[in-house]
A and B are shown apart, each in its own frame.
Chain A
């Protein structure tokens, strides 16, 4: 027995260290205190003894240096109650079951107590005499216990002791007593542990801080929960830990050779982690590069599920094996399937890694470095990680790594008046508010949080008022600006496009647009005053109809005028989807030819791009393949457009049915009213004027609408062409 434990330790050298490390930060201390013991214990015994030793430490500390600490412990009522009610029944049951096996263990623990409190020499003597003098030891034990705890059942123990001297069988009951004592010890230990953080975050009420961090943890919970509990209040939907870590690394880590390489300072790391758990504020001195890396790693590795989610993870890995043109599509597809929060986290990480890797010359960190540091946490293969990182810009085009600006604590007097900034801040504040509410509903109510709540609410109110006043002041201007923007649409569009994408791909688009424009121009000239975009036209139309309603006679002709338009409109809508994409393509190419010498131009451009880009890399793609690829892309685009338009047609048809039934109803009513009609017509000189004017206006409006629909149609086609061009370029540049 004496010789067992060293063997155990040889076989499992990390066993005890890791256990104690998990238990507390003070593991060094406990190791030291234990030094003498191991030789005498079997495995079970050792564990026991470990716990005991720690408890002893707790006592020693409590007795010797800091009895006030103990006071504070007992004063935090909820804590002690919770732990007691928790641990007492289960632990004691287990122990009772095993009590017989553990007799010797217990004896040893007793000895250990003696060690901590009496001379080590005496202890050694006792060890030698141990087996012979069990009874004496038990007495000692009891004495210690009494001295330490002033246990209420001291007298009982005494009685038991006497009995035990006579009868060894009664040891069991005594052990039970001891177990109770142990449990108390544990309680105290727990309290001690919890107190450590409280000193770290001094100034904030310990109870509140502790329970919020424990009850609503942000590490080791599903990502969604973590985001809900501690999120960035802008729209990124990232947990604050992740955002802050990435922000820090982006700002200070990209040029550092420590990035994803150096182990962090443990204490600093724990401190920062604690701050995040407790939702405390962090300051620059809490951070350094290794700590930020470790924080990211810890957060990710503690997620219960893969970032790529259980269902999709395998598919992601499989997708790495696909050949290129399809791989990106598959990946994009998979990425789009990810839940929002996973998508955001993945996007930010990959974009960030991309930044790290692209600074390799300075920080000497490449994908292997990142893999070594984060691979296990991410649980991704090197292939997948490499792919995601290198393609991160294409896979997550909408993600920009911007520094997080937390919601303001108070609204400065010079807060910008722009509606955009106000509504951005408003969204942040509302997000903050809802988080505060959620925390309060979870039962975490403190004066500080109350204050925060009122403040956030006040800022929200202020912002809303400001925003409203800004909107009011701009509203009168809004209409004219909109109109002018419509009028100036043509030059505007051309300049913006010209400046933003002066590519060859753009040429065809402009050319396609032109015919539409030409048709449109005269209309525009005629109609300047009434000019508006398509939707407003409809709105104009309806009120007109409503005006007509009272004037029954006017309505019918107008309606009749309307109907053909409607019918004319339908074919336009229906026209597109019915055609197979390929056919349509042909018609457009024909159109290009008709208007301008576009086709040859296009051909030369494709040939050019082919000549310049792919040939040095891969002469593999022949023109035929290119054509097929283009057609495939077009096909996809048009199919999408088709379904979209189909949906619109459906809703239009529904509207038509509705209006027809309405007309039928009205007609019936009119029949009833027709007797009065004659009388009305007498006084209808003015009305007829009105009628004619309205008819004219309606005709004009309808014509305009048709033109606009045409224009939209053309634009859409142009858009598709542009998209295809872009996709083609991408593919070409890749391959």
Chain B
């Protein structure tokens, strides 16, 4: 029941959200193709599919890279409904983008109507530590309030990129397996685990 035979691997739908220019596309492309694109080009919407082996099980993930700009909000909303897990990205060099995560979180909860929706708070651009303007503690605090894990990544150096995605996918497959008993403590575990990840980065 929990594991399907190899024929059709489980499909997880991940959605990247966050304000414009925080590095959603960069994270996605780094995860998908191990590439880092320097020049910035606003995304309207992009979708990718990748097979990942997670804890010995092959899963398929669809990643939807949404637009940070409000111009495309209408398009974004259609995707939120079908998303099963969310990577909420901000830039640690840009407090406004951190503030915006609050709004994204609320919007997602409103659409999904589920407080336990797999969700990950991601502080990107950790390579720009000297330009950091969002203190690590603030980030962790918010993640703790939301009861979600927090990861700091660098799409440029590929730091923690896989970790962020895999943590989310693990959450998603846990939810899908319906292990409700495990599910509640799980995010906390992950949450506790994450700060350690941050300290690594």
Query: Interface on A for B, CB 8 Å cutoff?
Result: 436-437, 440-441, 445, 450, 453-454, 457-458, 460-461, 464
Contact = CB atoms under 8 A, between A and B. Distances in A.
A450 B74 contact: no
A450 B48 CA distance: 15
A458 B49 contact: yes
A458 B63 CA distance: 9
Contacts of B82: 450, 453-454
Given A437-B74, A437-B75, A441-B74, A457 B46 contact: yes
B81 interface: yes
A454 B45 contact: no
A464 B25 CA distance: 14
Interface string B45-82: 11111000000000000101100000000110011011
Contacts of A441: 74, 78
B150 to A, nearest CB: 27
Contact of B47 (A436, A440, A445, A454): A454
B13 interface: yes
**Residue picked from A437, A450, A457, A460, most chain B C-beta under 10 Å:** A457
6 contacts: A440-B78, A450-B82, A454-B47, A457-B45, A458-B49, A464-B46
B64 A457 contact: yes
A690 to B, nearest CB: 33
B78 A458 contact: no
Contacts of A450: 81-82
A436 B65 CA distance: 18
A441 B73 CA distance: 12
A283 to B, nearest CB: 26
A458 B64 CA distance: 8
A460 to B, nearest CB: 7
Given A453-B79, A457-B45, 7 more contacts: A445-B81, A453-B82, A454-B64, A457-B47, A457-B64, A458-B62, A461-B65
B46 A454 contact: no
Contact of A454 (B62, B74, B75): B62
Interface size class of B (residues with CB under 8 A): 10 to 19
A453 B46 CA distance: 11
A445 B78 CA distance: 9
Given A454-B13, A454-B62, A454-B64, A461 B46 contact: yes
A440 B77 CA distance: 10
Nearest to B65: A461
B39 to A, nearest CB: 11
Contacts of A436: 78
Nearest to B45: A457
Contacts of B45: 457
A437 B77 CA distance: 10
A167 to B, nearest CB: 57
Nearest to B81: A445
Given A454-B13, A454-B62, A454-B64, A437 B78 contact: yes
Nearest to B78: A440
A461 B48 contact: yes
A457 B65 CA distance: 10
B48 A458 contact: yes
B75 A458 contact: no
A145 to B, nearest CB: 44
Q: Which A-B residue pairs are the 4 nearest by beta carbons?
A: A457-B47, A450-B82, A461-B46, A458-B47
B46 A460 contact: yes
A421 to B, nearest CB: 21
A453 B83 CA distance: 12
A450 B49 CA distance: 15
Nearest to A461: B46
Contacts of A437: 74-75, 78
Contacts of A445: 78, 81
Interface centre among A441, A445, A458, A464 (most CB of B within 10 A): A458
A437 B64 CA distance: 15
Contacts of A458: 47-49, 62
B10 to A, nearest CB: 15
Contacts of A460: 46-47
B43 to A, nearest CB: 9
A433 B49 CA distance: 17
Nearest to A439: B78
Contacts of B46: 457, 460-461, 464
A454 B78 CA distance: 10
B12 to A, nearest CB: 12
A546 to B, nearest CB: 23
A220 B13 CA distance: 39
A440 B45 CA distance: 16
A461 B81 CA distance: 20
A436 B74 CA distance: 12
A453 B64 CA distance: 11
A342 B47 CA distance: 35
Nearest to B79: A453
A454 B47 CA distance: 7
Contacts of A457: 45-47, 64
Nearest to A456: B47
A436 B75 CA distance: 10
Contacts of A453: 78-79, 82
Contacts of B74: 437, 441
